[in-house]
Amino acid sequence: MYRSFAEIEARNVSPVFHEWASAVAADPQVLALIEALPPTKRQPNLVFAAARFLGAPAGPYPVFRCWLLEHWARTDRVIRERSTQTNEAGRCAVLLPVLSRLEGPLALIEAGASAGLCLYPDRYSYRYGAGGRIVALDPAGGPSPVRLACRIDEGSVPDSIPDVVWRSGVDLNPVDVRRPAELRWLEALVWPEHDERRRRLHAAANLVAAAPPRLVRGDLVETVMELVQGAPPGARVVVFHSAVLVYLEPERRARFVDVMRSLPEVTWISNEGERVLPRITELVKVPVNGRTILSVNGVPAALVGPHGQSYEAL
DSSP H helical segments within 71-179, as ranges? 72-81, 92-99
Please report the pLDDT score of residue 40 as a whole number: 87
Note whether 47 and 189 are same-domain residues.
Answer: no
Residue where one domain finishes, among candidates 33, 56, 81: 81
Structure confidence at residue 247 (pLDDT): 86
Q: What is the pLDDT of residue 104?
A: 82
- Predicted pLDDT at 236: 97
The reported pLDDT for the residue numbered 187 is 93
Q: What is the pLDDT of residue 83?
A: 86
CB 245 within 8 A of CB 292: no
Provide CB contacts within 8 A for 57, sequence distance 6+: 63, 64, 67
Q: Are residues 139 and 46 in the same domain?
A: no
pLDDT, one tens digit per residue, over 120-149 is: 999 999 999 998 999 999 998 999 999 999
Q: How confident is the model at residue 199 (pLDDT cuts 50, 70, 90)?
A: very high
Do 163 and 239 fall within a single domain? yes
Average pLDDT over residues 111-115: 93
Q: Are residues 76 and 93 both part of a single domain?
A: no
pLDDT of residue 85: 80
Position 84 scores a pLDDT of 84
Quick one: 142 and 242 in the same domain?
Answer: yes
**Predicted confidence (pLDDT) per residue in 237-257, tens digit:** 999 999 999 888 899 999 999
pLDDT for 8 equals 86
b/e map of 272-292 (b: 16 or more CB within 10 Å)?
bbbebbeebbeeeeeeeebbb
Residues 185, 276 share a domain: yes
Rounded to an integer, the average pLDDT of 208-224 is 93
Paired residues of 239 in beta bridges: 109, 268
58 with 93, same domain: the answer is no
Average pLDDT, the chain: 95
Nearest to 162 by CA among 299, 273, 269: 269
pLDDT score at 290:
86
Tell me the CATH number at 240: 3.40.50
Contact 174, 115 (CB under 8 A): yes
pLDDT at 86 over 90: no
Of the residues 81, 99, 116, which one is the last residue of a structural domain?
Answer: 81
What is the pLDDT at residue 24? 98
Q: Which amino acid is at 76?
A: D
Beta-sheet strands, E only, within the chain: 106-111, 125-130, 133-137, 147-152, 164-171, 214-217, 236-242, 267-272, 292-296, 299-304, 310-313
- 156 in the same domain as 32: no
Residue 27's domain comprises: 2-81
Number of domains observed in the structure of the chain: 2
CA distance 109 to 215: 10
Question: Which pLDDT score is estimated for 117?
Answer: 95
Overall pTM > 0.85: yes
Percent of the chain with pLDDT over 90: 89
For residue 54, count other CB atoms closer than 10 A to its CB.
15
- The pLDDT, as a whole number, for residue 128 is 98
- Say if residue 71 is in the same domain as residue 94: no
The reply to whether 152 and 99 lie within a common domain is yes
The pLDDT of residue 170 is 96
> Which helix or strand (DSSP H or E) is residue 245 part of?
none
Per-residue pLDDT tens digits for 1-44? 999 999 988 998 899 999 999 999 999 999 999 999 999 899 99
Q: Which of 36, 51, 81 lies at the terminal end of a domain, its last residue?
A: 81
Domain identity same for 46 and 154: no
In 92-108, which positions are buried (b, 16+ CB within 10 angstroms) versus exposed (e)? bbbbbbbbbeeebebbb
Asked if 286 and 314 touch (Cβ cutoff 8 Å), the reply is yes
Same-domain pairing of 15 and 114: no
